[in-house]
A and B are shown apart, each in its own frame.
Chain A
């Protein structure tokens, strides 16, 4: 069965630029299997792991490579909560809102984060540094109220400590930006192939 289109070279070149060689190679492997389309969810996971989120350009590249209508790829990506369709900040703040943390004042800490960052849960700060999320229990109730920033745990956090903690990460970003330029670079939409 012929599984490539007449503009395959172009599709592949653009996809490589947008998704990266590793993911394109992975999709290639999926395409060799008997049910290529069934790998869609796994492919999307891989892209999110590598790029932090699923951009329209990513989804369109997947649609073209896997020969699945873009409407379906976008539909699947927007159905599952696990997939993020907006860019993730440099750091992911995950504040525990489980019972133990809650009774120890996590709601006030969360409120302080919302105020300091100027964003709601699920959103990313305008400077692209922080994404704020809440989770139900991080399994460290003894440290309540607890929040995690990427893989670092902050225990027994009070609202007053929030600005101090955030500043630590902001200064890390400032140091990094001296060392290198932007994280992923801009993405070009694949939508209008000539």
Chain B
């Protein structure tokens, strides 16, 4: 431990800690625009400077380690003036059109300028030439607003192992972007939006599609349905000042109804459907290899997360057969809504408009994939992020916190607790095991509270083994078999699992991958700023939602049973194959 004082307050922190970290412990806030816990310590923005007694220059507190007896001052005139100067210089280059910026009132630079009391920018001069990259369906880049903090570079390269963005050129001419001045659509970007979630300003944002939804709601001949992903209910409240981890399912439904949606449905319904299809697919693959002795692509990887799908298409196309052929719940929902549900209403697919609310930006890309039109038209019309829904509710003048709790509509609004946990890393695995174990043995998953503890939580790669005991006659070949599963979140972790599988170091049967750290609750479209503490709060909320339900296994969902009975037939049946399953494509990468 190292003893030091900050603003004359004694602090003791582990050796090697940074001043910033020590100040946090002492309850002293030091502003920063580039630092992200656990991600980068690069001292790019210079906002976090402090005075260290005896040192000639100010020190960047995010990168300067503490020393025994160090005397740090964070609020001297010299520090205040330096910070102000730094922020003014950033503002002098920043295309600050705050009133019309996507990040208005959700901007770290704006907030910091207010905090520092900057009322005037004393510097003018040249600015980076503005270039807007709106080449992708999911993300918009505006380098006129970029402050070159490099958070996006770190998250893309380190957390996601994608590396689509990097500083190009040098000094004043530096731009953060893909190679060779290309736009995002031309390079191997998976559109996960972690860059947009971590950007302190409006340099990378999701494509705003709120108006498309208003247009559909205004169209008299459209029956507009909305589906909300499991992760929304544990995060939307943050847009309205709730503590992270507040569940707002009922208010969210009420708000959507007041926005004018004709039916408020749940992606959860399709998550339950996914479990039946994907669980059956896994058992079929196991049967093929264990009983019939035929080759089957194992491990099977989950396919709910469109960023992960695109990652595999770019970087590991040879492993595409290992991806489950199941569409993601969002796309299953769209296909079912425009066929089964449309039939029930006596409407044609084109008369139904499906809006999704997702914690994700990659879903905006996914719904535009040309193959996602099983109903004959595009199955999901528009995807809004959690943040966009928050804005839409606010712009409609709805007092969100004053809303009553309401219930989702039938039939596509009913779901089990297994569907809720799709939001969390490890959740799809747990949901799949709850159902698969019961199919094979006729008994519930023999784990406390139905939770698969080893695969829950924020460790990067998690593993579990499940020995099958008491298999039903049909599944006798699985008796005594040990099912090895793994769960990874964040594509960097997924890459580790893929590498281990390819090298033969690991032999898994089933692997869950979620693109974003923490799973969908930490998605690129979630309210900012997502820290690990916030991830944990949202994860806990989702488990509460699951535990609060009477039905906690996907195969128990009566509406899903009805869907199979009335319409689909059976999992992996012909109709399922057409509506709920898909194929993947190899993509060239830059």
Residue in A68, A78, A81 whose CB lies within 8 Å of B168? A78
A26 at the interface (CB under 8 A from B): no
Residues of A within 8 A of B315 (CB): 5
Residues of A within 8 A of B177 (CB): 71
User: When the two chains form their complex, are residues A78 and B169 in contact, meaning their CB atoms are under 8 A apart?
Assistant: yes
B217 at the interface (CB under 8 A from A): no
B132 at the interface (CB under 8 A from A): no
Interfacial residues of chain B within 171-210, with CB under 8 A of chain A in the complex:
177-180, 186-188
In the complex, how many angstroms separate the beta carbon of A86 from the nearest chain B beta carbon? 13
Residues of B within 8 A of A68 (CB): 163
| Bound Cα distance A2, B499 (Å) | 7
User: When the two chains form their complex, are residues A56 and B180 in contact, meaning their CB atoms are under 8 A apart?
Assistant: yes
| Bound Cα distance A163, B152 (Å) | 51
A17 at the interface (CB under 8 A from B): no
Residues of B within 8 A of A7 (CB): 317
User: When the two chains form their complex, are residues B317 and A6 in contact, meaning their CB atoms are under 8 A apart?
Assistant: yes
Residues of A within 8 A of B503 (CB): 1-2
Residues of A within 8 A of B317 (CB): 6-7
User: When the two chains form their complex, are residues B588 and A193 in contact, meaning their CB atoms are under 8 A apart?
Assistant: yes
User: When the two chains form their complex, are residues B178 and A71 in contact, meaning their CB atoms are under 8 A apart?
Assistant: yes
A1-34 CB mask vs B (1 if < 8 Å, else 0) is 1100111000000000000000000000000000
B355 at the interface (CB under 8 A from A): no
| Bound Cα distance A193, B587 (Å) | 8
Interfacial residues of chain A within 147-162, with CB under 8 A of chain B in the complex:
none
Residues of A within 8 A of B165 (CB): 71
| Bound Cα distance A59, B588 (Å) | 16
User: When the two chains form their complex, are residues A60 and B316 in contact, meaning their CB atoms are under 8 A apart?
Assistant: no
| Bound Cα distance A158, B162 (Å) | 55
A92 at the interface (CB under 8 A from B): no
| Bound Cα distance A78, B187 (Å) | 18
A72 with B499, Cβ < 8 A, contacts A6-B317, A191-B590, A193-B588 known: no
B521 at the interface (CB under 8 A from A): no
Residues of A within 8 A of B163 (CB): 68-69, 71-72
In the complex, how many angstroms separate the beta carbon of A15 from the nearest chain B beta carbon? 14
A129 at the interface (CB under 8 A from B): no
Residues of B within 8 A of A78 (CB): 168-170
A70 at the interface (CB under 8 A from B): yes
Interface residues on A, range: 20 to 34
Residue in A63, A81, A192, A194 whose CB lies within 8 Å of B179? A63
A53-95 CB mask vs B (1 if < 8 Å, else 0) is 0001001100100001111111100111100000000000000
Residues of A within 8 A of B590 (CB): 60, 63, 70, 191
B481-515 CB mask vs A (1 if < 8 Å, else 0) is 00000000000000000010011000000000000
B166 at the interface (CB under 8 A from A): yes
User: When the two chains form their complex, are residues A75 and B588 in contact, meaning their CB atoms are under 8 A apart?
Assistant: no
User: When the two chains form their complex, are residues A69 and B180 in contact, meaning their CB atoms are under 8 A apart?
Assistant: no
A70 with B162, Cβ < 8 A, contacts A60-B590, A78-B169, A194-B588 known: no
Residues of A within 8 A of B188 (CB): 69
B167 at the interface (CB under 8 A from A): yes
A71 with B588, Cβ < 8 A, contacts A60-B179, A63-B179 known: no
B164 at the interface (CB under 8 A from A): yes
A132-150 CB mask vs B (1 if < 8 Å, else 0) is 0000000000000000000
Interfacial residues of chain B within 308-350, with CB under 8 A of chain A in the complex:
315-318
User: When the two chains form their complex, are residues B166 and A72 in contact, meaning their CB atoms are under 8 A apart?
Assistant: yes
| Bound Cα distance A73, B178 (Å) | 10
Q: Specify the chain B residue showing the minimal Cβ separation from A60.
A: B590
Residue in A6, A71, A81 whose CB lies within 8 Å of B187? A71
A59 with B179, Cβ < 8 A, contacts A69-B164, A70-B590 known: yes
In the complex, how many angstroms separate the beta carbon of A87 from the nearest chain B beta carbon? 15
A79 with B169, Cβ < 8 A, contacts A59-B179, A70-B179, A71-B179 known: yes
In the complex, how many angstroms separate the beta carbon of A165 from the nearest chain B beta carbon? 33
User: When the two chains form their complex, are residues B168 and A75 in contact, meaning their CB atoms are under 8 A apart?
Assistant: yes
Residues of B within 8 A of A74 (CB): 166, 168, 179-180
User: When the two chains form their complex, are residues A69 and B162 in contact, meaning their CB atoms are under 8 A apart?
Assistant: yes
A69 with B166, Cβ < 8 A, contacts A2-B502, A56-B180, A63-B179 known: yes
Residues of A within 8 A of B179 (CB): 56, 59-60, 63, 69-71, 73-75
In the complex, how many angstroms separate the beta carbon of B322 from the nearest chain A beta carbon? 13
Q: Specify the chain A residue showing the minimal Cβ separation from B499.
A: A2
Residues of B within 8 A of A192 (CB): 588
Residues of B within 8 A of A60 (CB): 179, 590
Residues of B within 8 A of A193 (CB): 588-589
User: When the two chains form their complex, are residues B318 and A79 in contact, meaning their CB atoms are under 8 A apart?
Assistant: no
B157 at the interface (CB under 8 A from A): yes
User: When the two chains form their complex, are residues A75 and B502 in contact, meaning their CB atoms are under 8 A apart?
Assistant: no
User: When the two chains form their complex, are residues A70 and B316 in contact, meaning their CB atoms are under 8 A apart?
Assistant: no
User: When the two chains form their complex, are residues B588 and A191 in contact, meaning their CB atoms are under 8 A apart?
Assistant: yes
Residues of A within 8 A of B499 (CB): 1-2
| Bound Cα distance A180, B216 (Å) | 66
In the complex, how many angstroms separate the beta carbon of B317 from the nearest chain A beta carbon? 6
Q: Specify the chain B residue showing the minimal Cβ separation from A79.
A: B170
In the complex, how many angstroms separate the beta carbon of B497 from the nearest chain A beta carbon? 13
Q: Specify the chain A residue showing the minimal Cβ separation from B174.
A: A79
User: When the two chains form their complex, are residues B166 and A75 in contact, meaning their CB atoms are under 8 A apart?
Assistant: yes
Q: Specify the chain A residue showing the minimal Cβ separation from B178.
A: A71
Q: Specify the chain A residue showing the minimal Cβ separation from B318.
A: A6
Residues of B within 8 A of A70 (CB): 178-180, 187, 590
In the complex, how many angstroms separate the beta carbon of B310 from the nearest chain A beta carbon? 15
A154-194 CB mask vs B (1 if < 8 Å, else 0) is 00000000000000000000000000000000000001111
A111-144 CB mask vs B (1 if < 8 Å, else 0) is 0000000000000000000000000000000000
Interfacial residues of chain B within 397-453, with CB under 8 A of chain A in the complex:
none
A contacts, CB < 8 Å to B: 1-2, 5-7, 56, 59-60, 63, 68-75, 78-81, 191-194
A-B contact pairs, 14 of them (CB 8 A): A5-B315, A6-B316, A60-B179, A60-B590, A69-B157, A69-B163, A69-B164, A69-B179, A70-B179, A71-B165, A71-B178, A72-B166, A74-B180, A79-B167
Which 7 residue pairs across A and B have the least CB separation, nearest first?
A: A69-B163, A6-B318, A74-B179, A71-B166, A75-B166, A70-B179, A71-B179
B contacts, CB < 8 Å to A: 157, 162-170, 177-180, 186-188, 315-318, 499, 502-503, 588-590
List 6 extra interface pairs beyond A6-B316, A71-B177, CB under 8 A: A7-B317, A60-B179, A63-B590, A69-B157, A71-B178, A71-B179
